[in-house]
Amino acid sequence: MDRRRFIKLSALTGSSATLASCGNPEYHLIRFVPEDKLTPGIAVWKPSICPLCSAGCGLNVRVMDGEVEVLRDGKLGLTRMGLAKKLEGLPDHPINHGKLCTRGLAAAEITYHPDRVGHPLKRAAGPGARGDGKFEEISWDQAIGELVAKLDATDPKKLAMVMRRQPGLRAEFMRQFAMKFGAPEPIAFEVFGDDVVRRANELSFGSYQLPTLDLADARYVISFGADFLGTWNSPVAQNVAYGQMRQGRPGVRGKFVQIEYRMSQTGANADEWVPVRPGTEGVLALGLANVIMKSGARKAADAGRAGTLIEGWGEGLANYTPQEVEKKTGVPAARIERLAKEFAEQRPGVAFAAGAAVAQTNGLFNALAVNALQALVAEVHFMPGVQVARPRKIEDVKDAQVLLVDGANPVYASPQAAKVREAIAQIPYIVSFGIFIDETSVMADLILPDHSFLESWVQAMPESGARTAVVSMAGPVMQPLHETRSTPDVLIDVGKKLKKPVDLPWKSFEEMVKAGPLPARAQAERPLPRGEAGKFAEPQFDGNPNEYAFHFLPYPSQALLDGSLAHLPMLQELPDPLTSAVWSNCVEINTQTAEKLGIRQGDIVEVASTQGAIRVPAFPSPGIAPDVLAMPAGQGHENFTRYATGRGANPIKILAQITEPETGAVAWAATRVKIRKVADADGSLVLVAGSLTDYPPEHPHR
């Protein structure tokens, strides 16, 4: 046994010793020999990368020595080691420029979470059903042996891999493993995905990726549904650039208009908030383009290829006069004329679409229309050298014999109607690399826990956020706390032990990261869409409007995103910027509508679609259209650590299985619902700021 592994049993000192003397066996902790050489009290700053979204912000991590509970050789004990104490933005990082969002600040909690999986687990033998949460600890040798035996006995084509969408070498590693094993490409899963925007950008501008918004230099910005200051794309980079647009140029303050039917955090920052009918955002964009072209400020040809995709563009969009557009969108013609005039005059202008505007059955049309408006006034920038994986449906796992899950939780984050839970449940063998038990990993036969990001080699290649290509890489900032292993290293080991070995060119993920990014692969050109993507089609909604009177808008939570961060107590504690809700969620309903229905703040209501119902407290708000109900995603977990389990409701569950036809992306804003009060307020809605009852009466929206 080497010195680092030597376990020294010793009497504990100070308060721990006092506790030990109480006779509680829980406090008879082992003290391990310190693993790091650090000067007590002196902080060291080490770089890393925030893993919580695909923006790839650079971190500066303050590391100091400290005492911590660790697992070594299957035993729990104490040791002194270098510990990450605080995360800050990495100064001069080209994406986040030294800043972080609140989610990034909370990311250290992942490493120290009390419910982390600290060693390999195997589903317990016995009569229990899959998903009952009963696991037993096994050794790494045993765990790797089991996986090798399973893969040896599996037809390579029957191996499915699901991971979260995170561009960079980790995704590339998984792809190479799958390819060399003979399996299909891994599925990059995300519920609030951007594949419609990427496809529209490919058609309009030739780039299958998200744009880098030119906010810093803009004088006029129109966002069609994008919560770009909150949760969409690269929020920190966009906040920095937005600050520059507003206050960074003496004497120039760019104007910002947000078009959406439920006020987001981004909308609350806008100079003008313009509510439109759901699914008509593209019509409004073409109405603005009609006025601009008619005024002679810009010509149809100025939009180039993006304009040619829109029916009637070359003739000046005769069907999109402000009067016609008012009928479809509900935005007054005079307002359309004024906004168009301002947008044409105050250049450079930036227009873009995301969020609910593209999460419709006609989402591709909306995105193409906004692209054409943008191209009419200014060019669009994309980060060079980026390669984004094409989408595959999560339902494709249904024929797999073995499923490997890396960082995704499709059972929680898929509509009930998609039957993802059922599809996964019938896969004979499931392996999760998760470091927490969640709704998907609880169904696993084997859990092989990864290190936390602070204990790992990390690498990121974001698709947006800067004008130049950005590749970030960093080593571990601290020793692993538990008996976890780097997932790519585990797969390298597994690959070597297979009867038909998977021959990867790296001995470890560290070696792969140090070798640098791989050359971009050539991607096949995709044909133009079937049908007429550039022609307006009425958005389709699931649910008869006579019975289901409201449009339902689930949206990524500012704190918890799609629910993947609900296990972090600091983020549960973060008040929602619009409702101030903490540790809970609610359904937002227009104040006047709520009054008509006799619904008051905190009352428990049932929100039902054709696919099911959820019960949740109500939150009357003036910042939402009268025929819309909105709800943040993130809560409603059945199994996701002590902090998230059994808290609130999951709006994704009741979405209909309705998609944008060209991309197959879930049209998550295309479900209709009904609402009824089922009980008086029961205290389950926790608001930091009290209520909105003192607000002045609202003006009619439309």
38, 52, 203, 667: residue in contact with ligand SF4 (rule CB under 6 A)? 52
Q: Measured from the CB atom, is 239 or 584 closer to ligand SF4?
A: 239
By beta-carbon proximity to ligand SF4, the closer residue of 53 and 144 is 53
Residues 45 and 82: beta-carbon distance below 8 Å: no
Residue 628 interacts with ligand SF4 (CB under 6 A): yes or no:
no
Helix, strand, coil percentages for the chain (3-state, nearest 5): 30, 20, 50
3-state secondary structure 197-216: HHHHHHHHHCCCCCCECCCC
223 vs 321, which CB is nearer to ligand SF4?
A: 223
Select from 374, 366, 365, 327 the least CA-distant residue to 347: 374
Q: Does the protein bind ligand SF4 through residue 388 (CB under 6 A)?
A: no
**Which residue number, 104 or 602, has a Cβ lying nearer to ligand SF4?**
104
Given candidates 103, 175, 485, 701, which one binds ligand SF4 under the rule CB under 6 A? 103
Extended strands (E) in 73-177: 75-89, 121-123, 135-137, 159-164
Q: Is 57 in the site for ligand SF4 (CB under 6 A)?
A: yes
Q: Which is nearer to ligand SF4, 287 or 556 (CB)?
A: 556
Does the protein bind ligand SF4 through residue 481 (CB under 6 A)?
Answer: no
d(CA 602, CA 621): 12
101 near ligand SF4 (CB under 6 A): yes
Could you tell me the smallest distance in angstroms from the CB atom of residue 96 to ligand SF4? 6
Q: Cβ closer to ligand SF4: 55 or 364?
A: 55
349 binds ligand SF4 (CB under 6 A): no
Closest to ligand SF4 by CB, 52 vs 604, is 52
- Our CB check for ligand SF4 shows the closer of 273 and 555 to be 555
Residue of 31, 38, 50, 480 interacting with ligand SF4 (CB under 6 A): 50
**b/e 187-209 (16+ beta carbons within 10 angstroms → b):** bbbbbbbbbbbbbbbbbbbebbb
Q: Say if residues 508 and 515 touch (Cβ distance below 8 Å).
A: no
- Contact between 658 and ligand SF4 by CB under 6 A: the answer reads no
CA distances from 90 to 41, 101, 160, 165, 166 (A): 22, 12, 36, 23, 20
The minimum distance between CB 236 and ligand SF4, in angstroms, equals 4
Asked if 84 touches ligand SF4 (CB under 6 A), the answer is no
Compute the CA torsion angle 255, 260, 262, 266 (nearest 10 deg).
Answer: -40
Q: Which residues, at least 6 apart from 327, have a Cβ–Cβ distance to it below 8 Å?
A: none
Q: Compute the least distance from the CB of residue 561 to ligand SF4, in Å.
A: 8
Nearest 5°: the CA angle 601, 637, 675 is 35
**Could you tell me the smallest distance in angstroms from the CB atom of residue 359 to ligand SF4?**
20
- Give CA–CA dist 407/434, Å, rounded: 6
Please select the residue that binds ligand SF4; options are 235, 410, 602, 620, rule is CB under 6 A: 235
CB of 316 to ligand SF4, least distance (A): 40
Question: Please, what's the b/e burial string for 362-382 (b: 16 or more CB within 10 A of its CB; e: otherwise)?
Answer: bbbbbbbbbbbbbbbbbebbb
Question: Taking the CB of residue 143, how many other CB atoms lie within 10 A of it?
Answer: 23
Asked if 213 interacts with ligand SF4 (CB under 6 A), we say no
Environment class of 162 (CB within 10 Å of its CB; exposed 0-12, middle 13-18, buried 19+): buried
Please identify, among the stretches 98-106, 474-482, 626-634, 635-643, the one whose residues bind ligand SF4 according to the rule CB under 6 A. Answer: 98-106
Residue 204 or 223 with smaller CB distance to ligand SF4: 223
Query: Which window, 52-60, 112-120, 493-501, 528-536, contacts ligand SF4 (CB under 6 A)?
Result: 52-60
Which strands sit side by side in the sheet containing 349-353, from one edge to the other?
A: 272-274, 255-259, 220-224, 349-353
Q: Is 574 in the site for ligand SF4 (CB under 6 A)?
A: no
- Per rule CB under 6 A, is residue 236 in the interface with ligand SF4? yes
* Residue among 400 and 559 whose Cβ is closer to ligand SF4: 559
Q: Which residue is nearest to ligand SF4 (CB)?
A: 104
How many residues bind ligand SF4, per CB under 6 A?
13
- Distance between CA atoms of 609 and 671, rounded to whole angstroms? 7
Using CB under 6 A, pick the residue from 31, 38, 48, 55 that binds ligand SF4. 55
Taking CB under 6 A as the rule, does residue 210 contact ligand SF4?
no
Give the residues across from 274 on adjacent strands: 259
The one segment of 46-54, 280-288, 593-601, 676-684 that binds ligand SF4 by CB under 6 A: 46-54
Nearer Cβ to ligand SF4 (32/352): 352
Cβ count within 10 A of residue 537: 16
Closest CB 462 distance from ligand SF4, rounded Å: 8
- 641-645-646 Cα angle (round to 5): 165
Of 7-15, 94-102, 308-316, 405-413: span binding ligand SF4 (CB under 6 A): 94-102
Q: Which is nearer to ligand SF4, 107 or 151 (CB)?
A: 107
The answer to the question of residue 53 lying near ligand SF4 (CB under 6 A) is yes
Query: What crossing angle do the helices spanning 487-497 and 169-181 adopt, rounded to 10°?
Result: 20
Nearest distance from residue 159's CB to ligand SF4, in Å?
30
What's the token pair of residue 695?
A: 């607000």
Cβ 50 vs Cβ 59: under 8 Å:
yes
Residue with tokens 């001069």: 92
Under the binding rule (CB under 6 A), the answer on residue 183 touching ligand SF4 is no
Compare residues 226 and 344 and give the one whose CB is closer to ligand SF4: 226
Q: Which is nearer to ligand SF4, 241 or 654 (CB)?
A: 241
Is 454 near ligand SF4 (CB under 6 A)?
no
Q: If binding is defined by CB under 6 A, does position 104 make contact with ligand SF4?
A: yes
366 vs 452, beta carbon nearer ligand SF4: 452
Residue 568 touching ligand SF4 (CB under 6 A): no
Upstream peptide bond of 480 is cis (omega within 30 degrees of 0)? no
Contact (Cβ atoms closer than 8 angstroms) between residue 195 and residue 665: yes
Task: Compute the distance between CA of residue 251 and CA of residue 494 in angstroms, rounded to an integer.
Answer: 61
Rounded CA separation 589/592 (Å): 9
From the list 101-109, 352-360, 372-380, 605-613, the region that binds ligand SF4 by CB under 6 A is 101-109
Q: Give the nearer residue to ligand SF4 in terms of CB position, either 435 or 658.
A: 435
Give the separation between CA 356 and CA 259, rounded to whole angstroms.
Answer: 10
User: Which residues fall within 8 angstroms of residue 14, CB to CB, at 6 or more apart?
Assistant: none
Residue 470 interacting with ligand SF4 (CB under 6 A): no
Q: How far is the CB of 122 from ligand SF4 (least distance, A)?
A: 33
Residues that bind ligand SF4 (CB under 6 A): 50, 52-53, 55-57, 96, 100-101, 103-104, 235-236
